């Protein structure tokens, strides 16, 4: 696997993981204060912690990508079998 392909796949893992990580730090506005801003979603966090999200996303994405890369390099995933099945028939 080329390093550019690995980087692109890691970027996909990072973006997908961010969507899974985002809900875990959220506290509802109404749970922290009795006031809410007009037009604000009730489930919106009062303060967005970008550093926290980036840290956890990077850790989870790196772990998931390491498992994927190990499976790819160790032959746990047989790419040629998939190519043969999906190729012209």
Question: Residues 14-26: what's their mean pLDDT?
Answer: 86
pLDDT for res 5: 93
Is residue 25 classed as helix, strand or coil in its secondary structure? coil
Residue 78 neighbours by CB distance under 10 Å:
9
pLDDT for res 44: 67
Which pTM does this prediction carry?
0.69
As to burial, measured by CB atoms within 10 angstroms (0-12 exposed, 13-18 middle, 19+ buried), residue 4 is exposed
Rounded CA gap, 73 and 68, in Å?
A: 9
Residue 17 neighbours by CB distance under 10 Å:
20
pLDDT for res 6: 94
Indicate the average pLDDT of the chain: 81
- How large is the greatest C-alpha to C-alpha distance in the chain, in angstroms? 64
Question: How would residue 26 be classed by pLDDT, with cut points 50, 70 and 90?
Answer: low
Judge whether residue 23 has pLDDT over 90: no
């Amino acid at each position: 696997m080329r390093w550019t392909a690995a980087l692109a796949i890691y970027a996909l893992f990072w973006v997908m993981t961010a969507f899974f990580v985002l809900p875990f730090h959220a506290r509802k506005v109404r749970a922290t204060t009795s006031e809410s801003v007009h037009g604000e979603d009730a489930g919106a966090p009062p303060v967005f912690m970008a550093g926290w999200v980036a840290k956890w996303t990077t850790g989870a994405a790196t772990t998931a990508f390491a498992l994927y890369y190990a499976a790819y390099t160790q032959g746990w995933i047989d790419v040629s079998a998939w190519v043969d099945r999906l190729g012209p028939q």
